[in-house]
Structure 1
């Protein structure tokens, strides 16, 4: 069975709800506290819930954060490719969420930022596999070097790349080398502008996620808009991850790109109606959601329009 091989990083998110950010040197009492698996976990969970066979090819630590990550991956049925890294624990991201919903982050990198080339070389991809790459990997020296050595030797496996919000921080040569291996680029509108999608779309498939409007698909010399699903959003955190994970699962199932993108749009819409980062639906929940939205919108969901 073909698999999604995720080469990114799973971290632990410490999410604190605060009335406002503290002043420099100050303090503030949090209104809520949550400790959750984050980072690449959200993509993998979305794909696994959509029925994909998922392998986590990244590294993870030996402490309590690593234990939390491994337990969460196991609960989703995700295979872990490596033993825990003995050099330390998994990293943590502290997220302060203020009363307006704005998020402020501080990241402490751990074992997930130390994926060596010899470790990744032991992950044997098959021609039918889909390999997921995140731009965050380019910001960790060992992960970046391992990926850039491994990706050119894949046996025909497709590569799905999500650059992420730090796209302007990448070394141009590293990005160019990575892009030479990419088959499908999935990004949001701001990232698309930074990457000059019009140029990239001449050589590969590009999906530009556009929130409630759905996404724009550049493929085979054509550009089309795949419409979104009308919902009332309560938390948009993780919607892009859900979109990528479900897109990957649908492609592994053999769906064509427009249909896979339609389903990914639906999954992302479902996810924003729930609070939390890993709110992707199961296949059953997604099928029910699409029927309900279809019934309420006169069959208008998921239209494909030439742009």
Structure 2
């Protein structure tokens, strides 16, 4: 990896409204939340995880003009994340997702898309990519009718030397087959959790799914299968490799996968080996789930301190 590159997210940032509840109410029911949190989520989780490792990051997406968009711009500035500022005067506001978090840490989502789901080709004109950059795309953004078409078209024209990272997300079954196939062939790094990769490859075991996906991929590409509390798997020239987990006391699983992917890519961009970068990502994700909130990635010094132990 070239250490002079940027991490570029082409997609969306939305607002997360998190409600911590004792249980999910039945249809027509009600439940009192013990805690409520209001914070940027979606692509912000990955961007913040990357910048906290000392890697420059750029957000290439729309930001609304209402109170939610204003909050997103404030937090991006606080984190040192550059934005293309593709919002327009008088535009709609950024969308939001309501997340119900149960005591186990499991989450239930309801999403209301906003201006971030309407990326158009002229929004990306100012995006001057270098071959040293790494571009990240989420499966969520490929699902939006407007943004999905824009992103898919842009990626077909992108310089093939630019490394593409793809996280299919839990709605992988809803992604258009041709877009999913393009990402399988084009992405340098695919990172997916157990459920996603098994559904994609129509396999019951994560190891079989990871090996099958890797067998259908270009040389020098990487498949990482996140297995939660069991660690992670990747496939290299020697075959399937397991990277152990760091035990954690789970409080909130929100953003753990994003933290894992962001830290993994950041450590690879910093020149670490694949195994050590995934080990760092496992540690970061384990720290993330011990805190409430969507963007809880630790900083590099905290990850390295645990690695040295």
TM-score (norm 1): 0.89
* More deviation, 29-38/133-142: 29-38
Q: Structure 1, unaligned stretches of length 5 or more? A: 295-307
Is 1:65 matched with 2:68? yes
Question: Number of residues paired by the alignment?
Answer: 292
Aligned residue runs from structure 1 range 108-127, under 5 A: 108-127=112-131
- Summarize deviations over 1:8-37 as a string: whole Å, max 9, x none: 211101112234444434444332221111
For the Cα contact (< 8 Å) 2:51–2:79, is it kept in 1? Answer: yes
Is 1:31 matched with 2:44? no
Aligned twin of 1:200: 213
Matched position secondary structure for 2:191: strand
Matched position secondary structure for 1:201: helix
Is 1:220 matched with 2:237? yes
For the Cα contact (< 8 Å) 1:117–1:142, is it kept in 2? Answer: no
| Cα drift, residue 82 of structure 1 | 2.6
In the alignment, the residues of structure 2 paired with residue 29 and residue 123 of structure 1 have an alpha-carbon distance, to the nearest angstrom, of: 44
Q: Structure 2, unaligned stretches of length 5 or more? A: 202-209
TM-score (norm 2): 0.88
In the alignment, the residues of structure 2 paired with residue 100 and residue 42 of structure 1 have an alpha-carbon distance, to the nearest angstrom, of: 21
| Cα drift, residue 100 of structure 1 | 5.0
Segments of 4+ moved more than 6 angstroms? none
C-alpha change, 1:210 and 1:258, in structure 2 (3 Å) is same
In the alignment, the residues of structure 1 paired with residue 123 and residue 110 of structure 2 have an alpha-carbon distance, to the nearest angstrom, of: 28
Aligned residue runs from structure 1 range 224-243, under 5 A: 224-243=241-260
| Cα drift, residue 265 of structure 1 | 1.4
Indicate the RMSD between aligned Cα atoms, in angstroms: 1.8
* More deviation, 38-47/95-104: 95-104
Residue number among 281, 287, 291 corresponding to 2:304 in the alignment: 287
C-alpha change, 1:193 and 1:70, in structure 2 (3 Å) is same
Is 1:135 matched with 2:139? yes
- Summarize deviations over 1:23-78 as a string: whole Å, max 9, x none: 43444433222111111111111100011100001111110000111111111100
